[in-house]
Copies of this chain bind each other. A is one copy, B any other.
Amino acid sequence: MNEMSAARAAFEARLRRIGEERYHDRHPFHALLHSGGCTIDQVRAWVVNRYYYQCRIPMKDAAFMSRVEDPALRRAWRSRIEDHDGSEAREGGIARWLKLAEAVGLDPEYVASAKGVLPATRFAVDAYVRFVRDEPLLKAVASSLTELFAPKIHAERIAGLLEHYEFATSETISYFRHRLNEAPKDVQFGLTWVLDHAVTPADQDAAAAALTFKTDVLWAQLDALYSAYIAPGNIPPGAWRPGEGLAP
């Protein structure tokens, strides 16, 4: 291995270590969810709040594309929006998430209204969209690399939900199965792009900081969820409460 490819490998390892140490698969909420320890209301709270993250992702990706001068890079990125928004021929991730909402007994229109989302969730997600809109492209791409760590959590989630919850069928949790296929192609592109473009130590630090920031965005959402609906269970004013937003 020559010096340059060794440096590249070391940088990739550094990025992967951020995931090992900070990705939200380590958050206690996920252990609870995947082991069947959540009540249906706790699952509902998760579905309501995680929707806000999902529905902002295509806006985040459009914000990214609005700053990209290279048509080839825009073309490569465009499929992310299609994966979430869908097309006439193909359902997208947002529609699949609303199926999950229906399966857990929520009114999909209520969930899609994003009423009842925890303020802390909004703050975290909005910070991510702003980050991608305002920071240099390298940091914007690097912040997407949490997808590197997503296949493992999606596989655990599919198995855990199917085993422990009555609402879970391959149809109702199809969102996660699709992400298992979509995320790897996106992240391979993003990882290669970051490795190609972050060559100086300063750029590598910036990319690592961006990925760290993104793990904070994901973690903060689960902290807020845990605090409101698990322990200590203090639901803030205006946030979803059990019994609200149920399917008619």
Contact = CB atoms under 8 A, between A and B. Distances in A.
Interface of A: 55, 58-60, 62-69, 71, 74-75, 78, 81-82, 84-87, 92, 94-95, 129, 133
A78 B85 contact: yes
A75 B62 contact: no
User: DSSP majority for the A interface?
Assistant: helix
13 contacts: A55-B69, A58-B74, A59-B65, A59-B69, A62-B65, A62-B66, A62-B68, A65-B65, A65-B66, A66-B133, A71-B92, A78-B81, A78-B82
Contact of A85 (B58, B71, B81): B71
A62 B59 contact: no
Nearest to A92: B71
Contacts of A84: 71
Given A71-B86, A71-B92, A78-B81, A58 B65 contact: yes
Contacts of A67: 59
Nearest to A95: B71
Contact of A75 (B59, B78, B87): B87
